[in-house]
A and B are shown apart, each in its own frame.
Chain A
């Protein structure tokens, strides 16, 4: 009786077979609506900087090198993969891909940079309307922006016209010192 019940148990255990994934040798598909590495489409992007304003981890930096060229840099090393950038994008230029195999020995392997051509309005330069009362609206920086790309720092300053003095000043931006440094 004891032995027969044991044999029954063994047969029951054999029935489902091996459940372990053969993952690194065979690919394992992701579930639908999985948010992996975001991808920027530089043909669709208009350079509004909405993604940079909405990023909770401040991973997206915007820097205007001159009147026409705007560099947008995505630093995936501190990305939360929340998908807010793709939600807020008016042109659907950002898509969350299903890439998750991002393990690397170098931090710089998960960065994406994009150089955009910005047309200039003859009348007023770049659209600019700075909110002074509402603190939340003030965070959506319009006009020319001067984030430091080397230090991966978002500098909450924007101007109506391109300010070369501010461009040089932000080039030498240094973070305030913290513990561990």
Chain B
């Protein structure tokens, strides 16, 4: 039930054609993205509300200072910058895939879709490493006058304010909201990346099976692209809220 034959010469809003010159599928995708933006918006605003009601918050430069295969390093935000770069790069390859689609170049679409999928998988891999690092990494914390070793979970935060204990500076438990929101929001975003990869794989297979070539256009790639760019855009906000501020 796609748009009925477009009548040339009729006005944009007078019926018989799409007022935005966009297919219903694209209109749907845009509204879906608005809806999803409200979901993420609610999460991030909740995070902001709680974070700024705390007396103390973690220092991201201290929490996110590790890098894979480099042992105990002090490279603040280096790894997350790499992750972000990978994700943004995959957005670029997505644009190129859409562009190839406009040119009806099947081989080009396939190539850039593969790069996009690879970028998404790399990002998810990075996220898995970061989560593992936080969940397993032990940190010295002063709890009720005793030293304990804590990892970072939804209910533990070893990055609280530092106090003097036996002549050295030790951290005390920090607000547990940090771990809760970090894992919840990055997890929800990661789930979006995961679904995006699944969608992209389907798009790649449909391209390979010449579905879009037979249809005469690659609009599905564009719609998948809209979703993928949205997921990237959300990451920019997540990055801002958890790593930069």
Whether chains A and B associate is no
